[in-house]
């Protein structure tokens, strides 16, 4: 059995990951009018390689402003907190 990683181990692994968001999403079917990696860096205020809840809130909002409109209509800021906690492993 493989032991579960601690929160700090997960965060360290995220920070060391050299795969850019743009590269990760290169086969994603949507287009963005802004560079995703630049947006990520602008919202990663503490430069630790990952976005905490408040950093992610701004990032997701900005994505909703630069993704094609047919997808942007799916973003509901009122649901951010519940979705963040659904996917946040820390």
Average pLDDT, the chain: 86
Read out DSSP for 24-86? Answer: HTTT-S--BSS-HHHHHHHH-TT-SSS--HHHHHHHHHHHHHHB-HHHHTT--GGGHHHHHHH
**Confidence (pTM):** 0.75
**Structure-token pair, residue 7:** 């929160």
* CB distance 75 to 64 below 8 Å: yes
Burial bucket for residue 78 (CB in 10 Å: 0-12, 13-18, 19+): exposed
pLDDT at residue number 80: 93
* pLDDT tens column, 45-80: 998 888 899 999 999 999 999 999 899 988 999 999
pLDDT at residue number 1: 60
Asked whether the predicted pLDDT for residue 3 surpasses 70, the reply is no
Higher-scoring residue by pLDDT: 54, 17: 54
């Amino acid at each position: 059995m493989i032991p579960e990683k601690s929160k700090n181990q997960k965060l360290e692994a995220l920070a060391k990951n050299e795969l850019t968001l743009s590269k990760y999403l290169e086969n994603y079917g949507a287009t963005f009018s802004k560079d995703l990696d630049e947006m990520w860096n602008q919202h990663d205020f503490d430069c630790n390689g990952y976005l905490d809840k408040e950093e992610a809130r701004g990032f997701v909002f900005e994505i909703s402003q630069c993704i094609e409109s047919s997808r942007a209509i799916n973003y509901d800021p009122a649901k951010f907190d519940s979705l963040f906690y659904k996917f946040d492993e820390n």
